[in-house]
Structure 1
Amino acid sequence: MILSRRQFLATGTAALATPAVAAQAVPFGIDYLEGLAEPGALHDSVPFVAPSAVHEAYSHAFYVNVSFYGDARQKMWVLERKGTGWDLAMRDEAFWTRHGGEAAYSFPVSSGALHQGNSRAGPTPNGIFNVDERSQRYRSGWGSPGMYKAVYIDLHYNSGRVSGVAMHGTTYGRYSALGRPASHGCVRMTCENMDVVHAILHPGGARREDSPLWGEVPRYFTSAPEDSMSARSGYVRDGSLQYDESGNLLTKMGYKALFVFFRDDF
């Protein structure tokens, strides 16, 4: 068993001295996500927000552990608000039936791996991102090769290039890789799971203003939020709220769902 930074801090030397305890299954539920916000749980370079601290504008959140190592790696939590708390918005029932036990997270995924010689492929970026709400980024079926119903993160790099990172369904031949890093930077899942996730944002194919998840949300860039593919600028990736010179919160109209990509293995 490989202990992540958080697991080592939580168990200390007892985990090393007592193999029977260390070998117990860890229930990676919402409490696990909350615990990652504790001091020292994650490396200082990893942006993170606990579900309980997500801005009130969001009704849903997509948490993905993009770690290379550890028992919590390559898992996704699709969360929705329930009263004053959060719950899983979906579970891969077939997966949990095969593995037994109560669903602690939604399903396994494959995030970015190292691809030598490919400068545009690599580990999935850590960070807190909005869904890219622009009309040109909507996908309803197979788009780029191997990308089914892709939902993109809202990010432009400093060069102005738009990020191609998305969550999407993948081809059946890649299902066996789910649970370990394998993609070129995106978050892969089964097409069946992507159908459900896509329907949360776009029930019945509803887009933008027609979606029940459409509303005003914080924006994590400082340029104007136009519905065009012109480069946006001034991005932050740590989820910090941005304000104009008068102290007004910078917002945009978009989907009330937040991406949180994180690592707990260093």
Structure 2
Amino acid sequence: MEASGFTRRQAVSGGLALGAALFAPPLARASVAAPGLEYLETLGPVEGRPFVAPSLLHPSYRAAVYVNCALSGPGAQKMWVLERGAQGWALAHHDEDYWQGRDDSPAYSWPVSTGRKYPGDSRSGPTPVGVFNIDDRRHRPGWGSPGMYNSLYIDLHYSGGRASGVAIHGTTRNQYGKLGRVDSHGCVRMRQANADKVWAMIHPGGARAGDSPLWGEIPRYFTSRVTKDMSPRSGYVRDGSLLYAEDGGLLTREGYRMVFVFFRDDP
């Protein structure tokens, strides 16, 4: 369903009134070497660093990708690929090679590299934090862009109208040794085999849009009209708030029922 305009915002919930979640205590410091799903549940948003715990995600989402973009700390530069089942959220994928000899029960999926500022590159910078839908208008299988394998872009247009170039994607093998620390120009890098796993969740057998098992109606995080082309969108929120039309109807769109949550928990 699509409605035009909005008059109020409400925090994402699993069917409960959870507006107070946006004013939860500051992000907790993890005390374990390999923080898992319970770690994500202990975190809360702070000013300028939005976050929604898995249990508070809207019930339309069947999968979620959490990325900690922090510069340091036990949870820094890690990704959790989650899937919602009958018993709630659980880790959907992990890197078998990475976890071999580390832990019999992987706590997160794999290490990543998020963004930093490169001198002389005006478009490089830290990976933006927030809650994002996948931009279903821009999927690039294989090496659709230089150095970017199986790219899934965040749905975000900047205030000037330019679409964000931030994506999660596989990287070239010569960058594998840098995974686990900040190094990219703004995207979230991972091993190619791991990018294949995420891609296959929404594109099994090459399925797209309505043919994908993860396609359906989801909340949208912008207030402008839904278009199929790359026309600029506006009125974005990044804190996972649900947006409503003047008649009280939830603003939604058709899309992949996977959500990206990029966050930081460093000071």
Give TM-score scaled by structure 2 length: 0.87
SS at match of 1:193: helix
Q: Aligned pair in 2 of structure 1 residues 52, 102: CA closer, same or farther (>3 Å)? A: same
Report what 1:140 is aligned to.
141
The percent identity for this pair of structures is 58
Q: Distance in 2 between matches of 1:82 and 1:210?
A: 20
Distance in 1 (alpha carbons) for counterparts of 2:261 and 2:80: 10
Separation of aligned partners in 1, 2:184 and 2:81: 20
1:1-266 aligned at under 5 Å gives the runs 6-7=28-29, 25-37=32-44, 43-134=46-137, 137-266=138-267
1 or 2, which has the higher helix percentage? 1
| Counterpart-to-counterpart distance in 1, 2:106 and 2:179 | 17
CA shift, 1:72, in A, is: 1.0
Q: Give the secondary-structure state (helix, strand or coil) at the position aligned to 2:205.
A: helix
Aligned letter for 2:28? R
The 8 Å contact of residues 43 and 264 in structure 1, kept in 2 or not, is answered as no
For residues 88-127 of structure 1, what are the alpha-carbon distances to aligned partners after superposition, in whole Å with 9 as ceiling and x for unaligned? 1101111100433420000000010221221100100010
Deviation at 1:61, TM superposition (A): 0.4
Distance 1:155 1:224 in 2: 14
- TM-score, scaled relative to structure 1: 0.88
Q: Is the 8 A contact 2:214 2:256 kept in 1?
A: yes
Q: Which runs of 5+ in 2 are unaligned?
A: 1-25
CA RMSD in angstroms comes to: 1.5
State the AA in 2 paired with 1:91. Answer: H
**Partners of 1:112 and 1:181 within 8 A in 2:** yes
SS at match of 1:76: strand
* Deviation, structure 1 residue 249: 0.3
Structure with the greater alpha carbon radius of gyration? 1
Q: Secondary structure at the match of 1:6?
A: coil
Q: 1:48 & 1:131 partners in 2: Cα distance?
A: 17
- Greater shift, 249-258 or 109-118, is seen at 109-118
3-state secondary structure, aligned to 1:94: helix
Report deviation, 1:194: 0.5
CA deviations on 1:155-187 (whole Å, 9 max, x unpaired) are 000000000000000000000000001000000
Aligned residues: 242
Between Structure 1 and Structure 2, the one with more strand by share is 2
Go from structure 1 to structure 2 and tell me whether the alpha carbon gap of 1:142 and 1:31 turns closer, same or farther (over 3 Å shift): same
> What is the SS of the residue equivalent to 1:99?
coil
- For residues 182 and 155 of structure 2, the distance between their equivalents in structure 1, rounded to whole angstroms, comes to 22
